[in-house]
Amino acid sequence: MFSSQVDLNDKTILVTGGTGSFGKRFIRTVLDNYKPRRLIVFSRDELKQFEMQKAFDDPSLRFFIGNVRDKDRLYRAFDGVDYVIHAAALKQVPAAEYNPFEFIKTNVIGAQNIIDAAIDVGVSRVVALSTDKACNPVNLYGATKLCSDKLFISGNSYAGESDTRFSVVRYGNVAGSRGSVIPFFMQMKDKGMLPITDERMTRFWISLDESVSLVMLALDSMRGGEIFVPKIPTATVLDMAKAIAPQATYETVGIRPGEKLHESLISEEEGRTTYAYDDHYVIRPNFPWWSHDETNDAGELVPDGFSFTSDSNSWWLTVAELTEMIAKVARTNEDDLLRPTIP
């Protein structure tokens, strides 16, 4: 977990995409540790909001039905908000290849709507969630998230004299989230055969709790324009399958349209402005207006030529470690897909 001293007591926080895996865990973490003035869930799906209202009983909670494509609704929702966590996105790689402009409308135009509304209404801080697929993207989804990241970083320039600041957190696959391969493999394991894209394929892994902790770190330490990247481990997709279904057979089905064999969290080009800390990296914005107090900063500039990729990562998870991680996910995840697998 990442260390932060952010104080969310008596704050009004809004989470876009708040009924998703991250949003639910973030909401639970805030309610367990702070006493916010208001905690707003902003999302499109009324059924998911209804189910979440039944699961979370707290007087600070508010539920707004809305879409980040609708700027007018964002202006209304952001009224009086201190912090915005932007988790709403379309995320499925194959779907993006066949429905590209739908992803652009949500992930890119929606991001600009968030920026405009936050500045105009006077939100203090915005943290946007990104993905390793935004680093040197090869698919439409990754390209939209790269564009979104660039918009949020430049949003600090648009803010002018406003106090609104924007930063980004970028991480890999979230263990146990609805889009993760873990629940898919768990559903398939009783059939005795798991489909593997490529035995060489590697991915970064992070838990839901760690992703929430990273957002808290960003809220605490952001000056505006940074990309926060966690130091997280790598595992092959094949080892993940072995951890979930050790007795199963595996069929190689090939890489889907738009997929990479390996992912990157920091490119060599981004390494030129990347600083390393004990448990994370910060990619600082390369703008003349941005400055940092080096005397109170424990970060060190990474070596020339540095990059952070899943195949060259020095931290690899063994099958035994993956098994332990999956068991923990099954015990703590609120997703119904995982509940039947709890030991």
Residue 175: enclosing H or E segment and its boundaries? strand 173-175
Query: Beta-carbon neighbour count of residue 22 at 10 Å?
Result: 19
Residue 189: active-site member: no
Longest dimension (CA), the chain: 61
pLDDT tens per residue, range 133-149: 999 999 999 999 999 99
In the chain, the N- to C-terminal Cα span, in Å, equals 25
Query: Which pLDDT belongs to residue 297?
Result: 79
What are phi and psi for residue 199, nearest 5 degrees? -60, -25
Please report, for the chain, the start and end positions of each structural domain, with discontinuous segments joined by +. 12-341
Separation of alpha carbons 293 and 199, rounded Å: 45
- Annotated catalytic residue within 133, 145, 231, 328: 133
pTM: 0.94
Query: Which pLDDT belongs to residue 294?
Result: 65
The superfamily in CATH containing domain 12-341 is NAD(P)-binding Rossmann-like Domain (3.40.50.720)
Query: Which pLDDT belongs to residue 180?
Result: 77
Separation of alpha carbons 192 and 242, rounded Å: 12
Query: Which pLDDT belongs to residue 184?
Result: 84
Which residues of the chain register pLDDT less than 50? 335-343
56 half-sphere exposure, CB direction, 13 A CA radius: 28
Separation of alpha carbons 94 and 186, rounded Å: 21
